[in-house]
Chain A
Amino acid sequence: MAIAASLPKHIALHDRKLVRRGLIALLILWPWLVPAQPWANLAVRMSVWVLAALSLVVLTGWVGQVSLAQAGIMGVGAFTAAQITRHTGLDFPLNIAFAGIASAGIAVAIGIPALRIRGLYLAIATLAFQWALEQSLLQQHWFSGGFNGVKIPDPHIGPYSLTNDRLMYYVAWLLTGTIILLVANLRDSRTGRAWFAIRGSEVAAKTLGINVIRYKLIAFAVSGFILGIAGSINLNFIGQATPLDYNFGKSIQYLSVAVLGGIGAIGGAVLIGIFFVFLDGWFFPEILTSIAGKIGIITAGLLIFTLIRNPGGMITIREDLRRQHLERAARKAARTNRTIVLDAAATDSVLTDGEVTISDDAAPLLPSATENGHTGNGSAERLRALLTERGPRLIRADSPLLLEATDVSVRFGGVVANDEVSLEVRRGEITGLIGPNGAGKTTFFNTVNGLVKPQSGRIRVAGTDITDEPTHARARLGMARTFQIMRLFPRLSVFDNLMIGTHLQNDTGFGGNLLMSGRSRSEDVRLREQVRSTLALLGLERVAHERVAGLPFGILRLVELGRALVSQPKLLLLDEPASGLDVGETDSFAEHLFHTRDELGITILLIEHDVRLVMMACDYVYVMEFGRNLAEGLPSEVQTNEAVVAAYLGEETPALA
């Protein structure tokens, strides 16, 4: 790493190209350079391992769903293909597709419980699934042929046999290479971003309009399909499928490979997969069918060792480096392709107006200038000027209703969290929702958002009843939110967090993403441009490529606001966005709120404890206490309402700036 960095760039690049070409040449010539037994044969087995690890990279690394049943799923594909070949004569290469489809089907079947069962519990469910498959389906004579397995007629291409032949090497690695490319396409597209979102936080993913059920099932299907391909390679190459090749031990070996490769990294899975089979062949050449044996002990031992030493895997490929590379490529594409940038012009013109407001005031938010300078006189004066210009209106505007909640009641067991709460938000306003801790404000937000189902009451957006809509459908109708306890995607950069927010602005589908269609690519370029503008608007350019975990709190609040903004909502729900911010950061945040309302035309519903911010920014205020409506009115009215003062503000009204 250090050596590569000290070399002049062009030399390093040149070397890398040379190495890559050399490797590809070596891969192509491999079966002719070594004796077929064991080395060419091992190379075919390597492809099976690599694919199995890859299926876990997708499912566990990217979507966060653990599966201990990968070998069993692979087996279902292999035996289905074997039986179809035996009974119908539809052999290679058609049986590859059958295997893929069968494995994808069984993977989706285990994926359905996974829609509800998560995390470590999914580990138990899939472990039980592997065990049940092994003991039941893979023991059925009609399916798996019992202990000795199922033999198929010699697969061939024209007159050339594939069993134990060099030709199979090319078939296997062509399939593997294609799958690697396609899977990488998915990762870098809308589908991949939706997966990363689910891995980070399912709740946040839903609020960004991601249909979690759909994307999880896609992931299970993709993972299963890859396993099926692996199973068919095994089948066609050996000319036989045996249950022992698909037992629990194998599942764990594949898991070990994926974990050692730094689960989530394609390159790691490939390298470790190859390394393991190499190891197996080098030390234990006699065990070609690899029934358990020493390799099982070694993989399990290495899995344990890796988890203790570095759960990130033996090979840590820096995700952010790759991302930055992508980002540069996209920028280059944007420069050379003016027509695409023109698509974004509409957004741009809105955003350039905004630059007047943010100008230099956003800068102090950045880590490089956290001293208190920005709370000085200049800023306060500017804020005062801004408030006289944009602060609360003195009468309630007569604009149309955007959000209408009537008599919403929510109970958790015996606790009544919301008791017939009603609230109206008018278009183009900042509406505040305040109340003491435990008043039920966040529960109300979750209900509006669809994360909590109310026992009674209706919620309408722009006249449409959405009470029974799921969260992601509400996002589609133009609802975005932030969370009191932030739900960012900590392992991704600021930029990628915002990119996930563009999910609803991107109408490319799975097929286009898989093949990286022109449309898929141009949408990416357009949305990257949009994210860049939003980052500029919020003054976040300097941290754009930093990983979210570890950034200061004030920045994170802005990142979450930015992620909501890029989804271009009509209604933005902000849950205590100023908690944890200091006075200067809060003022700056207020400016962003005004900008969002006035320039971007987004209506805001704001929960806040900071009375100063509420009085400064809100056009209309609702007050809740003990789960009920307590009062409502213009900020100045609420401030003097005796019930509110008694319940919430304390004995006397605090003086406001």
Chain B
Amino acid sequence: MSFYFQLIILGLPIGVLWALLATSVVMIYRASRVLNLAVGGTAMFTAYVMYQLNLWGVPVVLALIGALAFAVLFGIATERWLLRPLRDKPMLVSVIMTVGVLALTTELASDRWGVDRQNMPRIMPSGAVHFAGIAVGLDRIFILAITLLVMAAVVYLFRYTTLGISMRAVSDDRRAAQLMGVPAGRVSTTTWALGGLLGGTAGILLSPVIGLTPNGLVFQSIPALAAALFGGLVSIELTFIGAMVLGVLWSLLPGISFGSLHLREVTGVQEAAIFLLVIAFLYVRWEALFGSELREEEI
């Protein structure tokens, strides 16, 4: 039992960081009605920027700040130059645009830094605390704390601040919001800046956990999107739960055996499970996402 418990503890940071990425997706979707498939690209590229800065001899703290600044600028640039021109086009065009961004970041990173794993500079405390015989790394507690803090801040932002209410207004009806005096353009830009910051943070925290490779990080988009769908692209709380479920499943699967079949020996069993969950979440949450078939066509 404690073996599985240890696995769950190991899976916690992954789930938590998927929740962070998913929060970026939900926030951007709620404020600008764009489903950002490129969130993994932002995360990956930010991590590489920090890696590169550190390689050039920039101290870790400054490299961290520089990378996060890059993430914010990247978010703003994506919104300003790539998505704003598509505002009046069908939503699918914007989504394909984010796919293009995802591909471009992957290809650029593979070209610049290669597809092999690189070592991230260390930013988190080492050491562990012990609970009832189970060792919990301090870095994991650190990750959990940061993420919960960020997510609470996002919930607060949407519920109680003028900016959050403006974001929701702009996504509901841009024209009406503008007529009410909401600076729609600035609201979109701010959302994307924050979305970039969340994605970048997640990337920097994820890379020591799963390794700094272009493909490895880019595809973190998928579990993040799955969690966001579980939350109906609205609820931050449900998104968090969805991400934790995925994270725990991810780390438990390799520990499961059926007789002589050990799942850890089956290549890609985790990815296949996530894919099936994406489909399942879409099926289960379809009503919440759309309501009825007649309504979904208007999208």
Contact = CB atoms under 8 A, between A and B. Distances in A.
B297 interface: yes
Contacts of B283: 113, 116-117
A301 to B, nearest CB: 6
Contacts of B248: none
A124 B278 contact: yes
Contacts of B222: 124, 127-128, 131
B225 interface: yes
A249 B108 CA distance: 12
A118 B292 CA distance: 13
Nearest to A303: B100
A124 B35 contact: yes
B104 interface: yes
A488 B138 CA distance: 60
A202 B268 contact: no
Interface in A169-212: 201-203
Contacts of B95: 66, 120, 123
Contact of B267 (A135, A293, A294): A135
A121 to B, nearest CB: 6
Nearest to A446: B294
Nearest to B226: A128
Contacts of B89: 311
A140 B229 CA distance: 30
A129 B96 contact: no
A132 B274 contact: yes
B272 A132 contact: yes
A121 B99 contact: no
Interface residues of A, number: 50
A139 interface: yes
Interface string A406-447: 000000100000000000000000000000000000000010
B85 interface: yes
A140 B35 CA distance: 32
A575 B279 CA distance: 36
Given A123-B96, A128-B278, A249 B106 contact: yes
A461 B221 CA distance: 50
Nearest to B111: A297
B91 A128 contact: no
A367 interface: no
B249 to A, nearest CB: 14
Contacts of B270: 135
Nearest to B270: A135
A277 B128 CA distance: 54
B93 interface: yes
A4 interface: no
Contact of B96 (A125, A137, A201, A255): A255
A307 B282 contact: no
Interface in B34-76: 35, 37
Looking at A113, A249, A252, which has the most chain B CB atoms within 10 Å of its CB? A252
Interface in A107-145: 113, 116-121, 123-125, 127-129, 131-132, 134-137, 139-140
B97 interface: yes
B86 A121 contact: no
Using C-beta atoms within 8 Å of the partner chain, give the interface range for chain B: 35 or more
A303 B219 contact: no
B286 interface: yes
A136 B278 contact: no
B274 A201 contact: no
Nearest to A442: B294
B89 to A, nearest CB: 6
B96 to A, nearest CB: 6
Given A127-B99, A132-B268, A118 B107 contact: no
B142 interface: no
A19 interface: no
A308 interface: yes
B124 interface: no
Interface string B168-180: 0000000000000
A457 B164 CA distance: 46
A68 B82 CA distance: 20
A207 to B, nearest CB: 12
A229 B292 CA distance: 38
B293 A136 contact: no
Contacts of A498: none
Nearest to B93: A311
B269 interface: yes
Contacts of B35: 120, 123-124
A307 B103 contact: no
Contact of B103 (A140, A201, A300): A300
A378 to B, nearest CB: 42
Contact of B86 (A116, A140, A307): A307
A330 interface: no
A296 interface: yes
Interface string B266-297: 11111110110011001100100100111011
A575 to B, nearest CB: 12
B108 A66 contact: no
A451 B267 contact: no
A69 B272 CA distance: 14
A135 B111 contact: no
A248 B110 CA distance: 13
A487 B269 CA distance: 43
Contacts of A134: 271
Interface string B197-208: 000000000000
28 contacts: A66-B92, A116-B282, A116-B283, A120-B92, A120-B95, A123-B96, A123-B99, A124-B37, A124-B225, A124-B278, A127-B225, A131-B219, A131-B275, A135-B267, A135-B271, A136-B268, A140-B268, A203-B293, A203-B297, A248-B103, A248-B106, A256-B100, A292-B111, A297-B104, A297-B108, A311-B89, A412-B292, A451-B293
Given A116-B282, A304-B100, A446-B294, 7 more contacts: A113-B282, A113-B283, A123-B92, A124-B35, A127-B37, A140-B267, A249-B106
Closest 5 pairs (CB-CB, A-B): A136-B268, A132-B275, A296-B107, A135-B271, A135-B268
Interface of A: 66, 68, 113, 116-121, 123-125, 127-129, 131-132, 134-137, 139-140, 201-203, 248-249, 252, 255-256, 259, 292-294, 296-297, 299-301, 303-304, 307-308, 311, 412, 446, 451-452, 487
